[in-house]
Structure 1
Amino acid sequence: MAEHDPVRDAARYRVRRDSPTGQEPSEQGEDAAPPGRMENRHLWVDVLVDQAVARGEFDNLALAGKPIPGITAHDPDWWLKALIEREQISGVLPEAIQLRKDDAVLADRLDALRTEQQVRDAVEEFNARVVSARRQLLGGPPVVTPLRDVEHEVHEWSARRLPPPGPPAPAAEPPRRRHGWRRRGRSG
């Protein structure tokens, strides 16, 4: 009993429609088995690719005839690096390197906090991560990230939160002396 698969039926319809003879490849006298079988799927894919080429779907591609950007012959992990950059994946670096990155943006992270206690907690959590990484339990590169002084960071955070000084207020002008003459409007 043949299975009735709507996806396969639709694909067969497209092959018959796009074929010059109006027949499936197995009906065209080729020795290929029915394309739906797993062991012959490469034949089905070849037919679909040939039809796409005939329709011109591969014409005028952006990188036609050019090397794929970002691939170097000496870097076998080019695809992994591209994935990390494209998807902005973080947290998969060795802790020493991740700490360097976090150290560089710590001031921005602290500026987003609202209270001194939150700033203290964030700096203490950062320092705990540095101490833990220095123990080198998991190995990896050496940790060169310095510990942060909590009170200094709180002071710096407070200074960044103050509004910038505005332009100096203009000095009060001395009162004008009246000279006894006035402008008179024309009456006439």
Structure 2
Amino acid sequence: MMAPDVARVESAIEQAARRGDFDNLPGAGKPLDLPAAHDPDWWINQRLASGEIDSQALLPVVVLLRKEFERREETLAALPDERAVREYAEDFTQRVHQDRRANPFQRMLAPAWDPEDAVARWREVREPRPAPTAAPTPEPVAESRRRRWWPLRRRG
């Protein structure tokens, strides 16, 4: 004999099937792509492989912050003015400190970013670079006039 809750659920499923609520579902009639060995996380791996989930979102916050810090040059180049640079650096540092408070014993840390350092770097990134000049070509030295750098030994 089934428990009352199980019987109610079974009844609701049967009624939904008779009404056709399960007809035309995505993947209906297609086999499941299950791994050969038991993997309790098979469905997560399948979603990751399909590209439905951004794998970057699964990384720890400290790793994402470090990656963002490594791309700071690109971010700075896109910011329009010093105020925006200061706001971005303050926001980034606030997120770093928030992560440090949430995970006080983690070994990997993301660096904080001083807004004034960010502005100075922004100025360097935005300043036009001079075109590289060609190095002057040295004048050819005549072979007969070259001195040897090693001493000559006399054979005797």
TM-score normalised according to structure 1 size: 0.43
1:121 matched to 2:100? The reply is no
Partner residue in 1 for 2:109: 144
Aligned length: 108
Number of the residue aligned with 2:67: 101
Q: Map of 1:1-188 to 2, 5 A cutoff?
A: 38=17, 76=42, 77-83=44-50, 85=51, 88=54, 91=57, 93-136=59-102, 142-167=107-132
Distance 1:141-1:167 versus aligned 2 partners, 3 A rule: closer
Structure 2 contact 73–125 (Cα < 8 Å) conserved: no
3-state SS, counterpart of residue 135 of structure 1: helix
Alpha-carbon offset, residue 100 of structure 1: 2.1
State the shift of 1:124 in Å. 0.6
Report deviation, 1:154: 1.1
CA distance in structure 2 between the partners assigned to 1:167 and 1:136 by the alignment: 48
- Is the CA contact (8 Å cut-off) linking 1:94 and 1:141 kept in structure 2? no
Letter in 2 for 1:97: V
How has the CA–CA distance of structure 1 residues 72 and 82 changed in structure 2, closer, same or farther, with 3 Å as cutoff? farther
Greater relative contact order, per chain length (Cα 8 Å cut-off, separation 6+): 2
Aligned alpha-carbon RMSD (Å): 3.9
Amino acid at match of 1:150: P
**2-structure distance, mates of 1:72, 1:106:** 44
Identity %: 28
Give the unaligned 5+ runs of structure 2.
Answer: 1-15, 134-156
Contact 1:133 1:143 in 2 (8 A): no
2: CA distance, partners of 1:72 / 1:160: 53
Deviations 1:11-60, CA, capped at 9 Å, x for gaps: xxxxxxxxxxxxxxxxxxxxxxxxxx936x8xx99xxx7xxxxxxxxxxx
Tell me the residue number matched to 1:11: none
